[in-house]
A and B are shown apart, each in its own frame.
Chain A
Amino acid sequence: MEDAKQLEAFEAKIAAGQKIEPKDWMPEAYRKQLIRMMSQHAHSEIVGMLPEGNWITRAPSLRRKAILLAKVQDEAGHGLYLYSATETLGIDRSELLSQLHTGKAKYSSIFNYPTLTWADIGAIGWLVDGAAIMNQTALARGSYGPYCRAMIRICKEESFHNRQGYEIMMHLAQGTPEQKALAQDALNRWWWPSIMMLGPSDDQSPNSDQLMRWKVKMESNDAIRQRFIDRTIPQADFIGLTIPDKDMKLDAATGHYEHGPINWEEFFEVIKGNGPCNAKRLKARVDADKNGAWVREAAMAYAAKQTKDKLVA
Chain B
Amino acid sequence: MKEAKFEYLLRLGDSSLIIGHRLSEWCGHGPILEEDIALINIALDFVGNATSLLSYAGDVEGKGRNEDDLAFMRGEREFRNLLITEQPNGDYANTIARQFLFDTYMYFLYEELKSSKDETIAAIAVKSHKEITYHLRHTSEWMLRLGDGTAESHERLQNGLNDLWMFTSEMFDMDEVDAILIKEGIAPDLTKVKASWEKRVHEVLAEATLQIPTTTFKQKGSKEGKHSEHLGFLLAEMQYVHRAYPGAKW
Chain A hits for B29, CB < 8 A: 284, 287-288, 291
Chain B hits for A65, CB < 8 A: 24, 47
Chain A hits for B33, CB < 8 A: 46, 76, 79-80, 83
B148 touches A302 (CB 8 A): yes
B150 touches A294 (CB 8 A): yes
Contact partner of A53 (CB less than 8 A), chosen from B28, B144, B250, is B28
Least CB separation from A53: chain B residue: B27
Known: A50-B28, A178-B245, A294-B153. A73 touches B40 (CB 8 A): yes
Give chain B's interface residue range (CB within 8 Å of chain A): 35 or more
Chain A hits for B248, CB < 8 A: 60, 175-176, 178-179
Contact partner of A298 (CB less than 8 A), chosen from B43, B44, B149, B237, is B149
Question: Bound complex: CA of A291 vs CA of B25, how far in Å?
Answer: 15
Q: Is the interface of A mostly helix, strand, loop or mixed?
A: helix
Known: A46-B28, A296-B32, A297-B153. A69 touches B47 (CB 8 A): yes
Known: A61-B242, A77-B37. A49 touches B148 (CB 8 A): no
Binary per-residue interface labels of chain A (269-286) against chain B in the complex, 1 for a CB within 8 Å, 0 otherwise: 000000000000000100
CB distance from A245 to the nearest CB of B (A): 28
Contact of A313 with B by CB under 8 A: no
Least CB separation from A297: chain B residue: B150
Question: Bound complex: CA of A76 vs CA of B34, how far in Å?
Answer: 8
Contact of B224 with A by CB under 8 A: no
> In this complex, which of B21, B35, B47, B238 has the most chain A Cβ atoms within 10 angstroms of its Cβ?
B47
Chain B hits for A295, CB < 8 A: 31-32, 35, 92-93, 146, 153
A49 touches B27 (CB 8 A): yes
> In this complex, which of A73, A79, A83, A299 has the most chain B Cβ atoms within 10 angstroms of its Cβ?
A299
Contact of B30 with A by CB under 8 A: yes
Chain B hits for A116, CB < 8 A: none
A298 touches B28 (CB 8 A): no
Which residues in A have some Cβ–Cβ distance to B below 8 Å? 46, 49-50, 53, 56-66, 69-70, 72-73, 76-77, 79-80, 83, 118, 171, 175-176, 178-179, 284, 287-288, 291-299, 301-303, 305
29 contacts between A and B (CB under 8 A): A46-B28, A49-B27, A49-B28, A56-B24, A56-B27, A57-B238, A60-B241, A60-B248, A61-B250, A62-B50, A62-B51, A63-B51, A69-B44, A69-B47, A72-B40, A77-B37, A176-B245, A284-B28, A284-B29, A287-B29, A288-B31, A291-B29, A295-B92, A296-B32, A297-B150, A298-B150, A299-B149, A301-B150, A302-B146
